[in-house]
Structure 1
Amino acid sequence: MHRFMNGLARYMALLGGLVLTALILLTCVSVLGRGINTFLHSGLGEALLGGATKTLLDTGVGPILGDFELVEAGIAFAIFAFLPFCQITNGHATVDIFTSRLGVTANKFIQMVVEIVFALVLILIAWRLYDGMLSKMRYNETTFLIQFPIWWAYAASLVAAVVASAVGVYMAVVRTVEFFTGRVIIAPAGGADN
């Protein structure tokens, strides 16, 4: 089971990374287009290029229409796509000022409770995303500039949130079994300790 969950979490993280890379490229191209457009509209651009500025402007040089709408939807998906991998590899930041003075049993209990609460929160988020998606579908809401249905972004985020919920529940079960049996199934180390 751990191999499957780990593979699923890694797949989602890779998918989130691809989406994030595409969004970075989109943003760079849009900013470059905006800069070139501004230059072409400036007095310096017209002085240096003359009539070529109008020709370039007529080709549509400028920012990508709706770039921020695409970034908003893509970032939401990427965040949910990275959560499962962070969860299964214990990559969440921890502050152990208080817990470092406690015994092993107390720390295992705290970790079990945190995993259970986190799984419940992820399930709640997935449920609310599903409800929000249905609402956006029902009212046919679209983005302002490029008019793509908002529910598409909700659906993409929902898929990643459901995977995050499944991994969260798996980790809660693992930590519960570890607490009650004393076995170590997944090493607890690996978070960013501060």
Structure 2
Amino acid sequence: MHSVMMGLSRGLAMIGGIVLSALILMTCVSILGRHASTALNSDMVQSVAPALATWLLGFGIGPIYGDFELTELGMGFAVFCFLPLCQITSGHARVDIFTAFLSDATNRWLRLIIETIFLGAIALIAWRLSIGMSSRMRTGQTTYLLEWPVWWPYAACMVAASGAVIVAAYMVYIRVLEAIGGKDIIGEGGESEH
């Protein structure tokens, strides 16, 4: 079971990484295009090589149309894609000042409580994403520049958040076994010991 959940988590993280890398590349290309367009429209270039500047500008040199919208839409999805891997490997930020002095048994129960709270939070987020998606589908709302349906990113985020809910439920199950059995199965490092 752990290998399936780890596979799901890594698969979503890889998809999120691809989307994030594409957004980074798009942003860099858009910034370079914006600077090139500004330079080609400058008085100096227009006086020295107006035909070349006009040809390059006509060729499409400039910022990517809708780059801000694409970044906004893709970032939320990427974040939800990374959540399951962060959850299953215990990668969330934590402060061990207080818990370092607690017994192993107490820490197991504390991890169970934290995992349960996280499951509730991510389930609530996934549920609200589904409601938001349904609302955007009914209203037909689109993005301002690209005029893409707004429900598309809601749907993508909901799928990734649903993966996070599945992994969070699995982690609650593991933490219950750890707390009741008095033995670490995954522990703090996120690697399975079974």
By the TM > 0.5 criterion, same fold?
yes
Displacement, 1:85? Answer: 0.4
Displacement, 1:165? Answer: 0.6
Distance 1:2 1:92, change over 3 A: same
1:11 equivalenced with 2:8 (yes/no): no
Map 1:19-58 to 2 at 5 A.
19-58=19-58
Instruction: Report the counterpart of residue 137 of structure 1 in structure 2.
Output: 137
The RMSD of aligned alpha carbons is 1.1
State how far apart, in whole Å, the 2-side matches of 1:106 and 1:95 are: 16
Displacement, 1:44? Answer: 2.3
State how far apart, in whole Å, the 2-side matches of 1:96 and 1:48 are: 64
- Between the two proteins, the alignment pairs up a number of residues equal to 190
1:8-54 Cα offsets, whole Å, 9 max, x none, are 00000001000111111111111111010000111222234232111
Instruction: Report the counterpart of residue 154 of structure 2 in structure 1.
Output: 154
State how far apart, in whole Å, the 1-side matches of 2:101 and 2:180 are: 21
1:175 equivalenced with 2:175 (yes/no): yes
State how far apart, in whole Å, the 1-side matches of 2:83 and 2:49 are: 49
Q: Which runs of 5+ in 2 are unaligned?
A: none
TM-score (norm 1): 0.95
Displacement, 1:189? Answer: 2.8
Per the alignment, in what secondary structure is the counterpart of residue 51 of structure 1? helix
1:124-162 Cα offsets, whole Å, 9 max, x none, are 000000000001100001000010101000011110000
Q: Which amino acid aligns with 1:69?
A: E
Q: Which amino acid aligns with 2:175?
A: R
State how far apart, in whole Å, the 1-side matches of 2:123 and 2:40 are: 50
TM-score (norm 2): 0.95
Give 4+ residue runs of structure 1 displaced > 4 Å after superposition.
none
State how far apart, in whole Å, the 2-side matches of 1:45 and 1:11 are: 48
